[in-house]
Structure 1
Amino acid sequence: MITALIGIVIGTGLSIQTAVNSQLRKFVISPYLASMISFVIGALFLTIISLLIGSPLGISWELIENEPAWIWLGGVLGVIFLTVNILLFPKLGSVQTAIMPILGQIIMGMLIDNFGWFHSMRQAFDSYRLIGICLVLLGVFFAIGIQEVRHRHERSNENNLHLWIWRIIGIVSGMLMSTQVAVNGQLGVVLDSSIQAAFVSFLVGALTLIIVVGVKERSFAKVSNPIKEKASWWVWLGGFLGAAYVLINIYLVGQVGTGQTVVLVLFGQIAGSLLIQRFGWMGSQKTKIDWIQIIGLIMILAGVILIRMF
């Protein structure tokens, strides 16, 4: 029960991180720069935590040589997911930007569990898990996707092929997110430390984005824009929330497996998104929550229980 609650809480934190980073982008303009700030702050936060508890920061070269290359790529996968989400928003809108990666996360999470990819805990795909996944997908539609159907007539005609390309990109980014969960989980096992694994993941992500921003933007001057324009203090919280998300995810994968971790986080992510929408937190637009969205959350919870208990 406590494990499930932790997964839901960090999922809620992930939805808050998305809202925070969206606001940060308004000040720094570049989605890559916004992602870089988030990862650098997260890496610094994890460095401080590691030093305080005496967790090692360095990794032996022998360990790097003996482990598969993919085990060090969790940070790169996180960079792709975070940046793609920022890019998707103006293309698809908030609803589809949420639902497409979620679909990818569910699909990949169950595949990883069923086949034991990335040395994950293997959990066979049985009828109970199938019913649970169907309930989760239907719940996602009720909680998020139904708004898209209701307001479809309000949108002007757009190039469907162009939109479907972005939708597929969103699904793939969600699959990469589930892969990151599994990869970082195995890294935590290899290093025998969730904190060190989270630090490595964020450090790799931060260095990757520093290089990307240096090549693409050729300037880091806009980093100071939020300070110059007196942005709210919480625009800097994305990195802390992201670090907590990765750290706790690594722990949860070892306890309940990749698939269940993804679904628990998914429930928290949707619940958090609806709360942000209802109360207009983090500068987002305030929108009333429909009763059918509540039904969607209940269906997701039922699916989570089926997947966890059987």
Structure 2
Amino acid sequence: MLDRLGLTHMERFFMLSLLIGLVVGFGLPVQTAINSRLRQVVGSPLRSSMISFTVGTAFLIAVLLATLQGLLIPVATFSQQPWWIWLGGILGVVYLTGNIILFPRLGAAQTVIMPVVGQLIMSMLIDNFGWFGSPQHALTWIRVAGGIVVLVGVFLVVFTTSARNGLQKTRSSFLLPWQLAGIATGMMSAAQAAINGHLGVVLHSAVKAAFVSFFVGTVALILIVAIAERGIHIRSAFSKNNPWWIWLGGVIGSLFVLGNAYLVPEIGTGLTVVILLFGMISGGLLIDSRGWLGAQRVSVTPMQLIGVLALICGVVLIKLF
């Protein structure tokens, strides 16, 4: 189809990368909505996260075997590398489980946007101090300005009241703790990305790094669920009355990781973040406005759309300058 448009090879490649980024970014709020529905089925956010991580791990094992990369980790990695390179999976558990808990309280759009704020705050700190083996980038005034623009965008998207939405001040104030929790989970997500990026360099494979992260998260969740909930009780998930798509959350999460692994080396981290952010926020607003996948239907206002544009502009200033 791209060939018919008369585009050059580089232009076709960029358009393909753009399409992949938008689809992968759109998938994140879809994953959150699916896992929230799975939570209703199994009766626990921890069980839902455990199933999602297990499915994601199985999918990544299939990818590694199909690409002949193998599953083994060099023994020297355990003794020669810092202890924190294994924490990506734990942080991923907190981020995924947090999103499942936040989704029914904040809606799809806010469950995407509030963590984005946390991701930007933590990513700026990581860049400024060079944490987790990341390249150090000084915090410039342009990037600070970008952060302010992002906060303005968040205010417009999240806190704008509308007669059509029927939001009340009492409800908004009640949501504040959950919104702050969303920011905190976003900060952990950014730390996870930096840790997995370093692990990918160490293992010479972004896919293997993603597998290690998912595997650690799966083991941790199995232990947590077994202890906290006195056994693995997920029989209800296998009921024929459940929609088939409740099993897709882990696959979508894996594709999100793989999409990042593909795009970053090809088009750079900055442009990848911008494209993914646009897909994520667009997906969240669309799910809210249409009430898809069990989400509570909430109309989208013009001010929210302006806030989305402000968010994108702020991310461009932070990531590309």
Q: Measured at CA, do residues 307 and 215 of structure 1 come closer, stay the same or move farther in structure 2, by a change above 3 Å?
A: same
Letter in 1 for 2:78: I
| Deviations 1:59-115 (CA, angstroms, capped at 9, x unpaired) | 122111101111111111000111122233466666654443232111101111122
Q: Contact (CA 8 Å) 2:112, 2:280: kept in 1 or not?
A: no
Q: Measured at CA, do residues 144 and 166 of structure 1 come closer, stay the same or move farther in structure 2, by a change above 3 Å?
A: closer
Letter in 2 for 1:189: V
CA shift, 1:307, in A, is 3.1
2:120 corresponding residue in structure 1: 106
> Is 1:211 paired with 2:223?
yes
1:244 corresponding residue in structure 2: 255
Determine the C-alpha separation between the residues in 1 that align with 2:289 and 2:156: 16
Letter in 2 for 1:304: V
2:236 corresponding residue in structure 1: 225
Letter in 1 for 2:203: L
Determine the C-alpha separation between the residues in 2 that align with 1:47 and 1:135: 41
Q: Contact (CA 8 Å) 2:98, 2:185: kept in 1 or not?
A: yes
Determine the C-alpha separation between the residues in 2 that align with 1:244 and 1:147: 35
2:43 corresponding residue in structure 1: 29
Determine the C-alpha separation between the residues in 1 that align with 2:107 and 2:285: 15
Q: Contact (CA 8 Å) 2:60, 2:254: kept in 1 or not?
A: yes
> Is 1:65 paired with 2:88?
no
Which sections of structure 1, spanning at least 5 residues, go unmatched?
none
Indicate the RMSD between aligned Cα atoms, in angstroms.
Answer: 2.7
Task: Choose 124-133 or 170-179, whichever is displaced more.
Answer: 124-133
Determine the C-alpha separation between the residues in 1 that align with 2:292 and 2:316: 29
Q: Measured at CA, do residues 46 and 226 of structure 1 come closer, stay the same or move farther in structure 2, by a change above 3 Å?
A: same
Name which of 180, 186, 195 aligns with 1:174: 186
**Normalising by structure 2, what TM-score?**
0.84
Name which of 180, 194, 200 aligns with 1:188: 200
2:89 corresponding residue in structure 1: 75
Determine the C-alpha separation between the residues in 2 that align with 1:133 and 1:289: 24
> Is 1:298 paired with 2:309?
yes
Aligned length: 305
Calculate percent identity across the aligned residue pairs.
46
1:138 corresponding residue in structure 2: 152
> Is 1:87 paired with 2:98?
no
Q: Measured at CA, do residues 300 and 14 of structure 1 come closer, stay the same or move farther in structure 2, by a change above 3 Å?
A: same
1:288 corresponding residue in structure 2: 299
CA shift, 1:23, in A, is 0.6
Q: Secondary structure at the match of 1:287?
A: coil
Determine the C-alpha separation between the residues in 1 that align with 2:162 and 2:170: 10
Task: Choose 80-89 or 198-207, whichever is displaced more.
Answer: 80-89
2:214 corresponding residue in structure 1: 202
CA shift, 1:118, in A, is 0.9
Q: Contact (CA 8 Å) 2:274, 2:316: kept in 1 or not?
A: no
Q: Measured at CA, do residues 278 and 188 of structure 1 come closer, stay the same or move farther in structure 2, by a change above 3 Å?
A: same
Q: Measured at CA, do residues 248 and 36 of structure 1 come closer, stay the same or move farther in structure 2, by a change above 3 Å?
A: same
Letter in 2 for 1:276: I
1:45 corresponding residue in structure 2: 59
**Normalising by structure 1, what TM-score?**
0.87
CA shift, 1:135, in A, is 1.9
> Is 1:153 paired with 2:168?
yes
Q: Measured at CA, do residues 286 and 152 of structure 1 come closer, stay the same or move farther in structure 2, by a change above 3 Å?
A: closer
